[in-house]
Amino acid sequence: MERTVTVDQLYKGCKAGNRQTQEALYRMLAGKMLGVCMRYASDTSEAEDMLQAGFIKVFTNINSYKGSGSFEGWIRRIMVNTAIETYRRKVRMGQQLDINGFYEEAQQTFSMDALECEDLLRIIQELPAGYRMVFNMYALEGYSHREIADALGISEGASKSQLSRARTWLQTKIKQLEGGTYEST
Amino acid sequence: MNRLEGNRFDRQLQEKFENFTPEVSGRLWDNIIRELEGHAETVPLKRHRHKGWWMSAAAAALLVSAITYWYNRPVEVTYLHGRAVEIPEEPPVGAVQPETPEYSQGPAEEQQADAPVARRLRRAQASQLVAYTVEGPEVGATDETMPAPVERIDTAGEPRLADAIVLRPEADVLPATVTLAHVPEIQPLVDRDEGDVLLASTEREKRSLGLSTILNYVVSTVDQREEKLVTFSNDGEGSLKLDFNFGLAKNRKKIDRKSN
């Protein structure tokens, strides 16, 4: 009879520093966490760096997990925090871009069923870093504008503005990808 | 885009990425293991900063010390010693004053200029002026601050530098047998009779000696008595000493009481 091991059951072994348990946890969550990192990163290489740094933080700071919430959710937050650190480092280096020309375009609703995740991911990765961070944190992770503003060092208004512009920019890009054949719902 | 449409777009994306699990490179776990095993050996970044802070502080302290020393460094002060020279009206028998620049302006010198050269040469040979030579440090000075040992040159039987100097202006009339003495590089001419031969003394001694002399002079201008109430002197190490004559002060009080 095959025994299913959950992420929470691996917590104790990881806390004890058991290398086999740590590897089991990594094998179980690496793919999913890489998907998270790829939405925040500008390319796959940067996403893998985030994933590596994130798992090292998980294993070295595992004592800071107090048991509130799921262990997987805690690991996911660490990945997002690692992505935020990477973004802030890039901002300090002056790699901050803006998007222009899409803000006032007409909005449309459409279905993304025909699009592959890799296509959507590529479009998201083309977003300027600041917009990508705000969009991922708000639309896909569920952070509030207040939390985003604190994490990124911007105002709440800037967070809202960047979210709106990122959405518009993404929809325009998806429209170009689909050849303008949107399915209104 | 209104809020409802925005939320719908967000939800669509969430559903799209919900089960998205890209393939992970196999080398990532090896990198993580290597990082974890080397984590205990790595020096925390804070420690580097701490070390750098101390280095900066040490460099700043060194710089301040160097600047302080530069502005407070000892400055060499030269005290001029004036020495009164008495020109004898009649030179003693057997002692002839040489025609050095210091002695060439008196009336006696004018008379000597008229004397025969051979006579002046004999007088010069019998002069009390002797040449002192200052040996270098290899002679064995026991203390670096003490003057170098003085060695007197035996000048018997051969002309001295003093003779040569005296006779140089009239070299065209001197006998051919006169030769220059073989002397080392430095041969200051010193009058032996004066007693206080100025030898290579340390700068420290010169300074303290001059200061006590000046102070004594000031005291003597105020206190005209033979015995001074306050006397300044120098000890062997060059320190200034103050001698107070208490007996003189007591006597003065008694005199004042009697006079009253």
Name the band, by pLDDT with cuts 50, 70 and 90, for residue B212. Answer: confident
Q: How far apart are CA A115 and CA A112, in angstroms?
A: 5
The one-letter amino acid code at A134 reads: V
Q: Do B14 and A117 touch (CB under 8 A)?
A: no
A105 pLDDT above the threshold of 80: no
- Residue B216 inside a domain? The answer is yes
Its pTM surpasses 0.80: no
Chain A residues lying within 8 Å of B12, measured CB to CB = 111-112
A146 pLDDT above the threshold of 90: yes
Taking the Cβ of residue A31 and every Cβ of chain B, the question of whether any pair is shorter than 8 Å is answered with: yes
The one-letter amino acid code at B223 reads: D
Residue B186 sits in the same domain as residue B218: no
User: What was the pLDDT predicted at B210?
Assistant: 76
Residue B180 sits in the same domain as residue B224: no
- Residue B34 inside a domain? The answer is no
Taking the Cβ of residue B22 and every Cβ of chain A, the question of whether any pair is shorter than 8 Å is answered with: yes
Average pLDDT value for residue range A56-63 = 93
Query: Could you write out the DSSP letters of every residue in chain A?
Result: -PPP--TGGGHHHHHTT-HHHHHHHHHHHHHHHHHHHHHHSSSHHHHHHHHHHHHHHHHHSGGG--SSS-HHHHHHHHHHHHHHHHHHHHHHTT------S-TTSPP-----TTS-HHHHHHHHHHS-HHHHHHHIIIIIT---HHHHHHHHT--HHHHHHHHHHHHHHHHHHHHHHHTT-----
Of B165, B160, B79, the C-alpha closest to B125 is B160
Residue B146 sits in the same domain as residue B179: yes
CA angle (B5, B7, B8) in 5-degree steps? 65
A54 pLDDT above the threshold of 90: yes
User: By residue range, what is the domain housing residue B143?
Assistant: 101-194
User: What was the pLDDT predicted at B197?
Assistant: 46
Chain B residues lying within 8 Å of A160, measured CB to CB = none
Could you give the 3-state DSSP secondary structure of residue B130?
strand
Residue B190 sits in the same domain as residue B105: yes
Domains and CATH numbers, chain A: 1-95 (1.10.1740.10), 96-185 (1.10.10.10)
Q: Do A35 and B22 touch (CB under 8 A)?
A: yes
A11-25, B94-108, B182-196, B227-241: least confident range: B94-108
Residue B212 sits in the same domain as residue B180: no
Give residue-wise pLDDT tens across range B245-256. 877 767 766 666
Average pLDDT value for residue range A147-166 = 92
Average pLDDT value for residue range A28-53 = 92
A18 pLDDT above the threshold of 70: yes
User: What was the pLDDT predicted at B188?
Assistant: 56
- As for how many domains chain B has, the answer is 2
Cβ pairs bridging A and B (under 8 Å):
82
Question: Using alpha carbons only, how large is chain B's radius of gyration in Å?
Answer: 43
Residue B250 sits in the same domain as residue B212: yes
Average pLDDT value for residue range B138-166 = 47
User: What was the pLDDT predicted at A41?
Assistant: 92
Say which residue, B53 or B149, is predicted with more confidence. Answer: B53
Q: How far apart are CA A167 and CA A104, in angstroms?
A: 12
User: What was the pLDDT predicted at A104?
Assistant: 47
User: What was the pLDDT predicted at A132?
Assistant: 92
Residue B154 sits in the same domain as residue B239: no
Q: Please provide the average confidence, as pLDDT, over all residues in chain B.
A: 66
Residue B162 sits in the same domain as residue B137: yes
Name the band, by pLDDT with cuts 50, 70 and 90, for residue A156. Answer: very high
Of A145, A14, A142, A33, the C-alpha closest to A79 is A33
Which range of A84-98, A114-128, B67-81 scores highest in mean pLDDT? It is A114-128
Give residue-wise pLDDT tens across range B94-130. 555 555 444 444 444 445 555 566 666 666 666 544 4
Boundary-marking domain end, from B149, B168, B194: B194
Which of A32, A140, A163 is facing B14, going by the closest CB pair? A140
- Residue B248 inside a domain? The answer is yes
User: What was the pLDDT predicted at B13?
Assistant: 85
- Residue B153 inside a domain? The answer is yes
Q: Do B22 and A34 touch (CB under 8 A)?
A: yes
